[in-house]
C-alpha cells in the first residue's frame, strides 16, 4: 500500500528509505502465496471505498449504535458478495477488511459448516440452499448459562416422541438456558441447538438439532421460544450474543442432524460408525483461531511500532531532538519480540491450515486415523496462540504509553476482539490438558520415533537426551539446530516432570483421576513448552521452505532466532532444569537477545509495513502509515460526541447549582 510520493513524517520516511528489505516479497510470505496477496489486494478496495463500511465513527458509537451499524454492514456484505460473485476465500478476505464483528458472521462460520459437516445429503439439500440464499439466518447454540467447555454437562434435552416422530426440545432449568451464541439474540431465524438426546428414557449424549426461532413473516419469536440478547460485554458491541430458552417445543425427526448418529422413526438409535466423528466443526473452529491469532497481534504491533518511531520522549545524549522511543532498548525489548511472535503465529497458522486441510480430506474419505493428532495439536495451539496474541496486544497497548488507552489508538478494540478467543471454543486450560493427555500417552507408550508424527518425535523412547547444552558463545544461538534442540529438551523435561508426578501419585495410592488432577499444573507447563516448540519449529520451517532471498531471508532468520532466544530468557528456569543449561549459557542467550534487538530494530518499520494493513482497516491515529499521529488524534477528538457544545448540558443540569451555591437539582 506504499506510495512513493505521499506525505510521510520524516521519522518514518528515514526508516523506510534505509531499509534493504523487499516488502512485497515479505507480504507474499505473510499472505501464504502470491495468489492470496493478489486476491487480497483486489478485494480490500471494495470495502475501503464503500462508505457503508467506513469505520471513521466507530469509536464514537454507543453499543446500540454499533449494533445498528454492524447489521447495516452485514446486509451490505451479503449484497456485495452476490454482486461481486465472491468465492469463499474472497468472502473471508472481504469480511477481514470490514474488520468489525458482523451479526451475520456465525451464520457463515458456524451454522453452514455444521449443516455441511453433520447433515445428511437430504438435510443439506433442504437447508443449505435456504441458508446460502440468506432466506434464513442461523446461529449455533451450544454453550449454556451453566455449561461451557464440558460438553457432557449440557442440560438442554431433546426427547424423541415416536408417536409423532418429533423431538421435544426443552430447557429444564435456568442453567440450561443457551447463553453466549453470537447472532442468537435478535438476528437469527434458526439455530443449531446442541442438546442431550433422550430416547425411551436413555440419555444418548449431546446431538445437534435445527430449531426455528423466529417467524419468517415478521421476526417475532415462535411460541415456546424465549430469545434475546445477553447484555453488554467487554467488546463485540455490534454482535447480539444471545440467550435461548425452549419450553417443550416440537420439531420433526428430520431436524436432528443425522450424518453420524441416527434416530429411526420407531426410536431406534443408530450409533455413529466412528466415535468423535462429529467433533469436526469444533476442531475446525479451533484451527481457525490458530490461523487468525497472528493477524490480531500483527495489527497491534504495527500500530505500536510505527508510533514508537514517531514518538519522541526523553533527552538525547547528543543534544539533538528528543529520543525516538523505539531507540530505547527497553522499548525494543517490548516490541521486537512481538513482531517476531506475530510472524511466528502467522507461520503456525499456515502450518495449522495445511494440517487441517489434509486431515479434513482424509476424513471426507472416511479415514479418521489422524483426528486425535489434529485434535491434540489444534487444542494446545489454540490455547498457546490465543494467549500469545491477546497478551501481546495488551503489551502493545502499554508500549504506546498513555495514548494506548485512548480508543483512537485502535488497540483496545483489537484486544477486546481477540481476548474472548482465550475462553471460547474450549477454555485454554482445558485445552492445554487435552494436549497433555496426548503427550502423556505418547511418552508413556515408549514408542520409537518412527512411530510418531514429526512434532512429537522428541518424545520417542529412542530419542537421545543431550545432558548439557553445547553452547559456548552467544553466536551459537543463531543456529536453528541449537535452538530447536533446546526447545525439544525443555519440552521433554517438562513432560517428564509431569509424568513423574502423575506416576508417583498413582504409586502413592491415588486413583488414576486424582493422580492426574494432582499433576495438572505440571501438565500445563509441559503442554505450553510443547506448543512453544511447535510454534518455533513452524516458524523456522516456513522460513526455510519459503522463496525468501537476500536481506529478507537474513532478517527472517534473525526473527526466528529472536523468537527463540527471547523464550529462553523468559523461561530460563525451565531450560536450566536438570542442568541442561547453565546460568552462564542463559547469560549468553541474553547477550544474543540484545544483539538481535539491535539488528531487528533497523527494519522494525518495514517488517510491520509488510503486514500490509491499510490505514482504513487499522483505524488507529497512532498506527497511521504516514505517521501524522498528533494531527489525527487532535482532529478525531474534535469530532467526539461530548464536544458538540462548548458548554455541556451537565453544566445546567448539575454543575451550575453547585458552583453558584444554589440548591443543586438531583
Q: Of the candidates 13, 16, 60, 264, which one interacts with its own copies according to CB under 8 A?
A: 60
Nearer CB in complex with its own copies: 444/631: 631
Sign of CA dihedral 347, 181, 524, 495: negative
Answer yes or no whether residue 602 interacts with its own copies by CB under 8 A.
Answer: no
38 assigned to active site: no
Contact range with its own copies by CB under 8 A, out of 23-31, 342-350, 601-609, 647-655? 647-655
The helix/strand/coil state of 264 is coil
DSSP lists the bridge partners of residue 324 as 312
Of positions 170, 240, 612, 616, contacts its own copies by CB under 8 A: 240
Nearest Cα to Cα of residue 409 among 608, 621, 614: 621
How far the first Cα of the chain sits from its last, in Å, is: 54
CB of 445 to its own copies, least distance (A): 24
Please tell me whether residue 463 binds its own copies under the rule CB under 8 A.
no
Per CB under 8 A, does 322 bind its own copies? yes
Taking residues 498 to 537 in sequence order and writing x for each that binds its own copies by CB under 8 A, - otherwise, the string is -------------x-xx--xx-xxx-x-------------
Size of site (CB under 8 A) for its own copies: 139
Q: Which is nearer to its own copies, 104 or 355 (CB)?
A: 104
The C-alpha cell of 413 is what?
478494540
72 binds its own copies (CB under 8 A): yes
Contact status: 412 vs its own copies (CB under 8 A) = yes
Query: Please, which of residues 180-199 interact with its own copies by CB under 8 A?
Result: 180, 185-187, 189
600 lies in the binding site for its own copies (CB under 8 A):
no
x/- binding map, residues 243-272, to its own copies, per CB under 8 A? x-----------------------------
Judged by CB, which is closer to its own copies: 107, or 295? Answer: 107
Cβ contacts of residue 336 below 8 Å, gap of 6+? 562, 596, 597, 600, 601, 604
Closer to its own copies by CB, 34 or 133: give it.
133
> Minimal distance in Å, beta carbon 616 to its own copies?
19
Please identify which residue in 401, 479, 541, 602 interacts with its own copies, judged by CB under 8 A: 401
User: Which residue's C-alpha cell is 431406534?
Assistant: 268
405 near its own copies (CB under 8 A): yes
DSSP element (H, E) containing 460 = none
Give the nearer residue to its own copies in terms of CB position, either 202 or 664: 664
Binding residue for its own copies, selected from 17, 320, 646, 662, defined by CB under 8 A: 646
Buried-exposed string 530-549: b where 16+ CB fall within 10 A, e elsewhere: bbbbbbbbbbbbbbeebebe
Q: 287, 238, 224, 255: which is closest to 62 by C-alpha?
A: 238
User: Stretches 191-199, 286-294, 368-376, 407-415: which one binds its own copies (CB under 8 A)?
Assistant: 407-415
Candidate segments 201-209, 269-277, 338-346, 586-594, binder of its own copies by CB under 8 A: 586-594
Catalytic-labelled residue, pool 425, 574, 603, 616: 425
Query: Of 71, 60, 76, which Cα lies nearest the Cα of 101?
Result: 71
Give the residue from 416, 359, 470 showing the smallest Cα distance to 238: 416
For residue 168, give the 3-state DSSP assignment. Answer: strand
Copy the grid coordinates of residue 480: 536453528
Cβ proximity to its own copies: between 274 and 496 the closer is 496
Residue 7 lies near its own copies (rule: CB under 8 A): no
Q: Is 418 in the site for its own copies (CB under 8 A)?
A: no
Is 229 a binding residue for its own copies by CB under 8 A? The answer is yes
Please pick, from the candidates 26, 106, 137, 194, the single residue that binds its own copies as defined by CB under 8 A.
Answer: 137
When the beta carbons of 542 and 561 are compared against its own copies, the nearer one is 561
Cell of 615: 490505514
Q: Which pairs from 155-158 meet CB under 8 Å and 24+ separation?
A: 155/196, 156/193, 156/194, 156/195, 156/196, 156/246, 157/195, 157/196, 157/197, 157/198, 158/193, 158/195, 158/196, 158/197, 158/198, 158/207, 158/209, 158/256
At residue 99, φ and ψ (nearest 5 deg) are: 70, -30
Q: Does 218 bind its own copies (CB under 8 A)?
A: yes
Q: Which of 140, 125, 248, 148 is nearest to 188 (CA)?
A: 140
User: Which of the residues 262 through 321 are near its own copies (CB under 8 A)?
Assistant: 311-315, 317
Task: Report the residue from 71, 277, 447, 482 that binds its own copies according to the rule CB under 8 A.
Answer: 71
- Name residues whose C-beta falls within 8 Å of residue 241's C-beta, 6 or more positions apart in sequence: 180, 181, 182, 184, 185, 229, 230, 233
Angle between helices 428-445 and 520-544 (to 10 degrees): 80
The interface region with its own copies, picked from 38-46, 65-73, 91-99, 456-464 by CB under 8 A, is: 65-73
216 lies in the binding site for its own copies (CB under 8 A)? yes
**Which residues form the catalytic set?**
425
Amino acid at each position: 500500500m506504499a506510495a512513493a510520493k505521499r506525505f510521510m513524517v520524516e521519522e518514518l520516511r528515514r526508516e523506510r528509505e534505509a531499509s534493504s528489505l523487499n516488502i512485497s516479497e515479505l507480504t507474499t510470505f505473510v499472505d501464504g502465496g502470491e495468489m492470496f496477496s493478489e486476491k487480497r489486494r483486489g478485494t480490500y478496495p471494495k470495502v475501503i471505498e464503500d462508505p457503508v463500511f467506513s469505520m471513521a465513527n466507530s469509536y464514537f458509537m454507543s453499543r446500540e449504535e454499533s449494533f445498528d451499524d454492524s447489521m447495516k454492514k452485514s446486509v451490505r456484505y451479503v449484497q456485495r458478495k452476490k454482486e461481486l460473485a465472491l468465492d469463499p476465500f474472497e468472502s473471508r478476505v472481504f469480511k477481514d477488511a470490514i474488520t468489525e464483528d458482523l451479526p451475520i458472521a456465525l451464520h457463515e462460520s458456524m451454522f453452514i459448516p455444521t449443516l455441511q459437516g453433520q447433515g445428511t445429503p437430504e438435510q443439506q439439500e433442504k437447508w443449505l440452499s435456504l441458508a446460502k440464499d440468506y432466506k434464513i439466518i442461523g446461529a449455533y447454540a451450544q454453550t449454556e448459562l451453566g455449561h461451557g467447555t464440558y460438553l457432557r454437562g449440557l442440560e438442554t434435552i431433546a426427547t424423541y416422541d415416536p408417536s409423532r416422530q418429533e423431538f421435544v426440545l426443552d430447557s429444564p432449568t435456568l442453567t440450561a438456558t443457551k447463553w453466549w451464541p453470537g447472532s442468537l439474540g435478535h438476528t437469527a431465524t434458526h439455530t443449531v441447538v446442541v442438546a442431550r438426546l433422550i430416547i425411551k428414557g436413555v440419555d444418548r449424549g449431546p446431538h445437534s438439532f435445527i430449531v426455528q426461532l423466529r417467524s419468517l413473516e415478521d421476526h417475532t419469536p415462535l411460541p415456546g421460544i424465549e430469545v434475546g440478547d445477553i447484555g453488554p460485554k467487554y467488546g463485540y458491541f455490534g454482535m447480539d450474543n444471545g440467550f435461548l430458552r425452549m419450553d417443550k417445543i416440537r420439531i420433526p425427526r428430520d431436524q436432528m442432524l443425522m450424518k453420524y448418529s441416527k434416530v429411526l422413526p420407531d426410536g431406534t438409535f443408530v450409533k455413529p460408525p466412528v466415535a468423535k466423528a462429529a467433533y469436526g466443526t469444533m476442531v475446525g473452529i479451533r484451527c481457525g483461531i490458530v490461523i487468525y491469532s497472528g493477524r490480531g497481534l500483527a495489527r497491534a504491533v504495527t500500530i505500536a511500532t510505527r508510533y514508537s518511531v514517531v514518538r519522541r520522549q526523553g533527552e538525547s545524549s547528543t543534544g539533538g531532538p528528543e529520543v525516538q522511543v523505539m531507540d530505547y532498548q527497553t522499548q525494543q525489548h517490548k516490541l521486537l519480540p512481538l513482531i517476531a511472535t506475530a510472524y511466528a503465529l502467522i507461520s503456525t497458522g499456515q502450518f495449522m491450515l495445511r494440517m487441517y486441510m489434509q486431515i479434513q480430506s482424509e476424513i471426507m474419505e472416511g479415514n479418521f486415523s489422524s483426528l486425535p493428532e489434529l485434535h491434540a495439536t489444534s487444542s494446545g495451539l489454540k490455547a498457546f496462540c490465543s494467549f500469545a496474541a491477546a497478551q501481546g496486544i495488551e503489551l502493545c497497548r502499554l508500549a504506546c504509553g498513555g495514548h494506548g488507552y485512548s480508543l483512537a489508538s485502535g488497540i483496545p478494540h483489537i484486544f477486546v476482539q481477540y481476548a474472548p478467543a482465550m475462553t471460547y471454543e474450549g477454555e485454554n486450560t482445558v485445552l492445554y490438558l487435552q494436549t497433555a493427555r496426548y503427550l502423556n500417552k505418547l511418552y508413556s507408550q515408549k514408542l520409537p520415533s518412527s512411530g510418531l508424527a514429526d512434532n512429537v518425535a522428541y518424545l520417542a523412547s529412542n530419542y537421545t537426551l543431550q545432558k548439557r547444552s553445547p553452547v559456548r558463545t552467544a553466536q551459537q544461538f543463531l543456529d536453528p539446530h541449537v535452538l530447536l534442540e533446546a526447545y525439544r529438551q525443555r519440552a521433554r523435561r517438562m513432560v517428564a516432570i509431569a509424568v513423574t508426578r502423575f506416576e508417583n501419585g498413582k504409586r502413592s495410592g491415588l486413583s488414576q483421576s486424582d493422580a492426574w488432577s494432582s499433576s495438572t499444573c505440571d501438565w500445563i507447563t509441559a503442554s505450553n513448552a510443547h506448543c512453544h516448540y511447535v510454534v518455533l519449529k513452524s516458524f523456522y520451517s516456513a522460513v526455510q521452505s519459503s522463496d525468501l532471498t537476500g536481506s529478507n531471508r537474513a532478517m527472517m532468520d534473525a526473527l526466528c532466532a529472536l523468537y527463540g532466544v527471547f523464550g529462553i530468557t523468559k523461561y530460563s528456569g525451565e531450560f536450566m532444569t536438570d542442568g541442561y543449561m547453565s546460568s552462564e549459557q542463559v547469560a549468553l542467550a541474553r547477550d544474543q537477545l540484545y544483539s538481535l534487538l539491535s539488528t531487528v530494530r533497523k527494519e522494525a518499520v518495514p517488517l510491520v509495513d509488510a503486514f500490509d494493513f491499510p490505514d482504513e482497516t487499522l483505524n488507529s491515529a497512532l498506527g497511521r502509515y504516514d505517521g501524522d499521529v498528533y494531527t489525527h488524534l487532535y482532529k478525531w477528538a474534535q469530532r467526539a460526541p461530548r464536544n458538540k457544545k462548548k458548554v455541556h448540558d451537565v453544566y445546567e443540569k448539575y454543575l451550575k447549582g453547585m458552583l453558584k451555591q444554589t440548591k443543586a437539582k438531583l
